[in-house]
Structure 1
């Protein structure tokens, strides 16, 4: 175990160092990730430790980064590419959607595409335009493309190791608002956490709260407040948005009969809508109240002076849960 508690950002660095050390086919590439250590310093010290052939500085060219990663991945290399901010990921979509996600299908299993595309995402750090997007739904809609989002240092370490070892492409979205928000002890033991699995962070009987990424923190705080009111909340971190572990979500809501879904992305067409539709389709008669969503607004993420008006907070979750608990039909 590390001598000191570490942040989510430290855990990302630790996982990449472990992967580089144990597998000579793992390489990192991205803009300023080498000598500079990346815009958030997620790769700090890794080029000095593993060399310029393993930790590669690239030009400012997201299309090239993604295309190069696809080519590497089909030839036995395991690239871990960084896109500096999720708002800059769109030039990479052509390679993710048309090539990475289809490689196994296109070649009838002859080739796979074991690449990871990392990107910080979400608001809350007073960033300029194009630096605070939460567009995970666009990626989760693509068959063959895993979308993974950690919500704690331990899950960042274990899920990133699993993503790097996965034989299919993974987009690994890191909620930068909680990069340095808290520290926990993380054992650098090389053990991965399972992909495609939800994590039940808190057991409860009255209502299920479903979230992922940075919003898990507010969700847990709301659950603490609600416990003082006598409301027992089950809190689930989805973690992998594609494919979703529907079985865990359905089992939880079958037990509680009520559900609130919390995410930072806009309300319309978000992953909350997909989860809500699945729950309604498969267990309508088990629900004691309509599934509620607490989300960001259907607007562009505002500049920093107004971003807190956009981001859901604990009070928003409390209101939704109380109204769901009081629903009588």
Structure 2
């Protein structure tokens, strides 16, 4: 398994990050089995969040860490300060509440990678950066970043940090996939567009992509005529994405792999440090992700797949 380095963290971060939004207290056997397969392919980073399964994801992960004694081997990536029914919660009080709750649930005294699950552009970045630095200095987190933050806000936050002698954001976790969304999957979500990708490359800023394989768009189960998944139709059905799928299938045939492995390789072959959040539920799916992560696509192949370059 290949890895990237994230500033502030003394552990490497595996290029494949295991998603845990299906971890619950009533499926401990499945949690244990999936994590066993994930460790077997060389993974070491688990993604969770304060809101996943009403907190059960973090609780189930905490139980597994306790039972296996693998806390120090793993990189824990959790997120907080998600909005609620009353609106945005990106403020020092909500950050503190969610972080302390997450630490308790996962039975640990620090989080390796802490992400703000949403942004609130109405809140000045200085307030947020200062709050996160307090938790950094207290040892509760090792590095922090934004999930669903625009690159402009990340830049603004890091400029503030530099001007005030503080630590800035070390990573970002937006959506990035070969299939481009017509609209956000959920309100407030951010996908990396062409302008953002240029910024990530210029800054060599680590990106941890959620929905890296476009929620199964490249599995071959979907076509313009199959419209039983309303969310997939709404977000990913477009003429351009069907062309991207056809090109992924063509390149996959040439390389002797699957189209979904090409889609995964598209994310991991970007010209900046990139990881992909994955959600395999079987050993076979895990192995497929492992093999896809081994593929390296050229700049020309990336451009052709994304409809911005000539055929290779």
* TM-score past 0.5 threshold: no
Give the shorter-chain TM-score range.
0.3 to 0.5
Q: Which has the higher helix share?
A: 2
Q: Which has the higher strand share?
A: 1
TM-score normalised by length of structure 1: 0.35
